[in-house]
Amino acid sequence: MQTQQTIAEKVSCTGIGLHSGAPVQLTLLPARADTGIVIVRSDGGRSVEIPAHAKFIASSRLATTLGRGADTVRTVEHLLAALHGLGVDNARVVIEGPELPVMDGSAASFVYLVRSAGLFAQPERRRGLRLRRPVEVRLGERWIRAEPAREFRISYAIDFEHPAIGRQCLEIVGRNPAHFEREVAGARTFGFLRQVKTLWDAGLAKGGSLDNTLVLDDEGVINPEGLRWPDEFVRHKVLDLYGDLMLLGTWLQAHIRVERGGHALHLALVSEILESPAAWRVLGRDHLNRALVSAVRAPEAP
């Protein structure tokens, strides 16, 4: 197993929330080994720590939301994806507002932020889970399955009845930060023009625009610059999966197969894995990290 990593120095950025439309400031800070990723909501004169762990999932509707009591932080998946893709084990994420900034709708800005801070190698061994048997969740025609494997692998498929999307598949083999940065991080979130009014009526997507979302009408993408890849849609789904897997609180060694996935399905798999300790064994078990110890205990109420 590799050793753990944190970021080398403090770094910050500002932006707006995709759903809230509110201005927010984000600050990343180094953290000690075995801390994991901890999100700190710091506004209104107080700070509330919310570990990036499945026990603190508050919602999976259109984004991954974490919460502790009445305090929530929305749309955490793109930053978590950047941390996952670049191999960051430990960090404090201080957010002044109810939601992480959307930036351009991808993880590219967060990758830039982490690269600007630099990475710091820590002497403690990285922990992980290796599956002993498959773990699967099915929701009608949609399903996700994690299978035992010698290395991390993703096989993801989506299927939309839309001329600009259709069926798209993507295969990722291994954890390679350069490949993640080049082939996954820049894939943007997407939505359909016909759904915009419904979202606005529900108080969502207030910060959405053509600057941070791929928008499709009935025929194609209406963003003037078009797509970054012909299969940008499935790449973004893979990006979301990277972020949601961070809520395991440790690194998963498995082959993950997904058919028509989304946040609800990703997070259902995370929960199913954590609730099935007989299905996996611990890698680097000399000192289990706090998140993993918490995972195999009875869940606490957020």
Catalytic residue ranges = 263
**Residue 140 tokens, joined:** 């009608």
Between CA 103 and CA 90 the distance in angstroms is 22
Phi, psi of 240 (to 5 degrees): -60, -40
* Angstrom distances, CA of residue 3 to CA of 6, 30, 36, 228, 239: 10, 15, 13, 34, 24
> Is there a contact between 49 and 249 (Cβ–Cβ < 8 Å)?
no
- Cα angle 286, 287, 288 (rounded to 5 degrees) comes to 115
Residues in the chain: 302
Question: CA Rg, the chain, in Å?
Answer: 18
**Distance from the Cα of residue 203 to its chain's centroid:** 23
Between CA 147 and CA 253 the distance in angstroms is 9
